[in-house]
Amino acid sequence: DMNFCSYRPALYRNLTDVSVSARPTADIISTVEFNHSGELLATGDKGGRVVIFQQETENKSQSQWRSEYNVYSTFQSHEPEFDYLKSLEIEEKINKIRWLPQKNAAQFLLSTNDKTIKLWKISERDKRPEGYNLKEEDGRYRDAATITTLRVPVFRPMDLMVEASPRRVFANAHTYHINSISVNSDNETYLSADDLRINLWHLEITDRSFNIVDIKPANMEELTEVITAAEFHPHQCNTFVYSSSKGTIRLCDMRASALCDKHSKLFEEPEDPSNRSFFSEIISSISDVKFSHNGRYMMTRDYLSVKIWDLNMENRPVETYQVHEYLRSKLCSLYENDCIFDKFECCWNGNDSVVMTGSYNNFFRMLDRSQRRDVTLEASRESCKPRQVLKPRRVCAGGKRKKDEISVDSLDFNKKILHTAWHPQENIIAVATTNNLYIFQEKVN
């Protein structure tokens, strides 16, 4: 049987109780990201909030590692804004969060909405000065006449307080909607990409950015493709890739020229003519691109499949995995209910042997590259009792439905998993359904 890894929930957190929430749609999770050590997990939501979870490990008596992720910090990153010039509202939804590698005691992350990127510093405070000479404990100044001795304040322990403060605001550089941010391996620069342009920033400089890719045509009526995602290479600080709505990926080298409109490599697979339909354009649009940790491969996600590309081979991917091929015959209905436009993300595990992506009905897929196996799992309250191993799920595409299979027509297309993340070192995964976050951990026997 294909049960190559068993997961059990470590944390189940219901982020929305519609009956009490004042703004039910604001709690929809829009991005999930582990930091570089995996100790912290950040989520962003439609309401502009960032919630950070911290891993607490404890050694159980049965010698089973059990991780728990508890809320570490919550803050409002972005607020809704109004562009008066264009009469447009700017959504506060957090599109992406990216962590900076840790340099000192504080943690830093970049969070972005459609127009503005912010650098946040998250720091701990576990002591505070007490015993001021001139002030009372509540801050009021003491009467000068009563001060007869010199008292030097000392630091005393206090309850841990986690503070988030905005250190930089990178604004006004994007005409179109930002879809990606990516921190460079040089730890000094990062890129931000919108539909038509990619800008390069220095983390210390907010009033200037360099435009490195511009695919806007002189005449907008000639527009045929947009940028859908962009990422820096994990080790080569001069290299980045960007994907397009036409299913192509371009790799660019910043050493070649200041403006990287000309790609160094173009990754494109010829279309299969037998699959042509009205919706071929839409389903070939790439929704996510991610480099492997070792930097030798990249993975792309389009509507129906996940493709692994070798950076040295441009004409076709080295591996292709069908995520939910049974949807190919339903594209018309999915166009009608707008599901065909859903942008699924994908992620690698720590050693690049397994990739993961989401699907509908709160299903998510794990594709094992080394063992050529795949499994469909479900993230839902009903199927996730604490410490229970997740059961593989099967979708029946047609014909006779076997026991425990679910038919395509019974799938709930409102329950979609767009965002998933994998701990950089351990087999711990974070899966976001519409408004709930699930964290699963591999069961160690």
Partner 1 sequence: MDVEAKRIMALSISKLYSLRTQRGGLCLHRSLLLSMTMRAARDIYHTAQLLRDAEEEQVVPCAPDAAIEEPMEISKDSPQTLTPKEVAMKHQEPKETVEDDKENQCASERHSRKRRSKTAIEPDFLPLKKAKMDTDEEKQHLQGEVLRTNNGNSCRQAETLTAFPTNRAVVAC
Residue 442 burial (CB < 10 Å; 0-12/13-18/19+)? middle
Least Cα distance to 183 among 303, 101, 83 occurs for 101
**104 in Cβ contact with 97 (< 8 Å):** no
| Residue with Cβ nearer partner 1 (195 or 231) | 195
* CA atoms of 182 and 188, how far apart (whole Å): 11
Give residues 130-169 in contact with partner 1 (rule: CB under 8 A).
Answer: none
Figure out which of the listed residues 221, 258, 270, 403 binds partner 1, where binding follows CB under 8 A. Answer: 221
Distances (CA, A) of 337 to 276, 303, 323, 342, 364: 21, 15, 20, 11, 21
The answer to whether 22 contacts partner 1 (rule: CB under 8 A) is no
Among 180, 199, 228, 361, binds partner 1 (CB under 8 A): 228
Binding mask 72-91 for partner 1 (x = CB under 8 A): -----------x--xxxxxx
- How many Å apart are CA 178 and CA 242, to the nearest integer? 13
Interface pattern 93-132 for partner 1 (x via CB under 8 A): x--------------------x------------------
Give 222's contacts (C-beta < 8 A, 6+ positions apart).
none
Identity of the residue, 114 or 378, whose beta carbon is nearer to partner 1 in the bound complex: 114
Q: Please identify, among the stretches 126-134, 153-161, 215-223, 346-354, the one whose residues bind partner 1 according to the rule CB under 8 A.
A: 215-223
Measured from the CB atom, the residue of 320 and 329 that comes closer to partner 1 is: 329
Residue 39 or 114 having the CB closest to partner 1: 114
**DSSP letter for each residue of 182-222:** EE-TTSSEEEEE-SSEEEEEETT--S--EEEEE---SSGGG
Site for partner 1 in 329-368 (CB under 8 A): 329-333, 335-336, 338, 341
Binding partner 1 by CB under 8 A: which of 281, 310, 426, 442? 281
Question: Which tokens in the block code for residue 414?
Answer: 């409102």
Report, in Å, the least distance between residue 194 CB and partner 1.
9
Structure tokens belonging to residue 34: 């582990």
- In whole angstroms, the minimum distance from the beta carbon of 228 to partner 1 comes to 7
Closest CA to 109 of 177, 173, 42: 42
Residue 112 Cβ vs partner 1, minimum distance, rounded to whole Å: 14
Size of the site for partner 1 (CB under 8 A): 39
Span near partner 1 by CB under 8 A; candidates 49-57, 132-140, 328-336, 360-368? 328-336
Q: Where are the beta strands (DSSP E) in 87-179?
A: 88-90, 96-99, 107-112, 117-130, 154-170
Interface pick for partner 1 out of 28, 162, 226, 389 (rule CB under 8 A): 226
Burial state string for 247-282 with b = 16 or more CB within 10 A and e = fewer than 16: bbbbbbbbeeeeebeebbbebebeeeeeeeeeeeeb
Catalog residues that contact partner 1 under the rule CB under 8 A.
83, 86-91, 93, 114, 176-177, 195-196, 219-221, 223-226, 228, 245, 273, 276-279, 281-282, 285, 329-333, 335-336, 338, 341
